[in-house]
Amino acid sequence: DTEVTQTPKHLVMGMTNKKSLKCEQHMGHRAMYWYKQKAKKPPELMFVYSYEKLSINESVPSRFSPECPNSSLLNLHLHALQPEDSALYLCASSLGTGTYEQYFGPGTRLTVT
Amino acid sequence: AQSVSQHNHHVILSEAASLELGCNYSYGGTVNLFWYVQYPGQHLQLLLKYFSGDPLVKGIKGFEAEFIKSKFSFNLRKPSVQWSDTAEYFCAVNAPYTGFQKLVFGTGTRLLVSP
């Protein structure tokens, strides 16, 4: 199984809502990532988890809150988002944070109204 | 900081034409290089990767790439494209960043193959 799954596929939320994005992998990978991809732009790294611990936070606003409940799951909790946060949110995983390729999920397309 | 440049933002080809997409990176140390493809409505998929060894790397779907260290380049090639190759192609470099390997993407090249 070389698949990273993400739910939901699409999400529309208001600026006062609280929602969560979910990501799951069963490849035994110990590193998991959140990326943000705006239209016609490359993915930009947001967070890195290594062995369920947050290793990197790329100066992401606190309205985005990541969580790694176990080695297979990664969540991104959203609260009080702005319209400019509308984007495709990608999850990825890799064997570790060293020289390994990353496997990407299909993403959640988020629209903030 | 590492950066990746993709010179062609949009490429339009007819089926059976040859393809070469340019990619240059800025990091001077040891790097790992990747090409990812994003088909319309689908997720990013790994086309090929270079870690070490033979600088000519073969990937899936008939794609190959050549690592030229002296030119800091990792260009993607395919001898004969198909309509199904229409997609966005991202070059990426994995280079050291605060204790781990950060994947930095180029801006992408949108390829349109006309039948």
HSE (side-chain half, CA atoms, 13 Å) at B83: 2
Report the alpha-carbon distance of residue B24 to residue B7 in Å, rounded.
8
Contact flag A45-B102 (C-beta cutoff 8 Å): yes
Cβ–Cβ contact B101 with A under 8 A: yes
Kindly give the confidence (pLDDT) of every residue in chain A, 113 residues in length, as a single tens digit, with 9 standing for 90 and above.
569 999 999 999 999 999 999 999 999 999 999 999 998 889 999 999 999 999 888 889 999 999 999 989 999 999 999 999 999 999 999 998 887 889 999 999 999 99
Please give the structure tokens belonging to residue A96. 């570790």
* Integer Cα distance of A55 and A78 in angstroms: 20
CA torsion A69→A70→A72→A73, rounded to 10°?
0
Instruction: Encode chain B (115 residues) as per-residue pLDDT tens digits.
Output: 678 999 889 999 999 999 999 999 998 778 899 999 999 888 899 999 999 999 999 999 999 999 999 999 999 999 999 999 999 999 999 877 777 788 999 999 999 999 8
- In A54-113, the residues whose Cβ lies within 8 Å of chain B are 55-56, 90, 97-107
| Residue B45 contacts A, CB cutoff 8 Å | yes
Q: How far does B51 lie from chain A, in Å, by closest CA?
A: 8
pLDDT for position B97: 76
A44-50 vs A53-57, strand pairing mode: antiparallel
CA distance B94 to B51: 10
List of chain B residues whose C-beta atoms are within 8 Å of the C-beta of residue A106 = 42-43
| A54 DSSP 8-state letter | E
pLDDT at A107: 95
Rg (CA), chain B: 14
pLDDT at residue B41, as a whole number: 84
Residues B113, B81 contacting (CB under 8 angstroms)? yes
pLDDT at B30: 81
Residue B18 sits at the chain A interface (C-beta within 8 Å): no
Strand B100-105 and strand B87-97: the pairing is antiparallel
Instruction: Say what the pLDDT of residue A2 is.
Output: 63
Do A42 and B108 lie within an 8 Å CB cutoff? yes
**Whole-number pLDDT of residue A1:** 56
Token pair belonging to A107: 């993403």
In whole angstroms, give the CA distance from residue A107 to residue A90.
Answer: 4
Which amino acid is present at B67?
F
Three-state secondary-structure class, residue B9:
coil
Considering only CA atoms, which of B21, B54, B33 is closest in space to residue A101?
B33
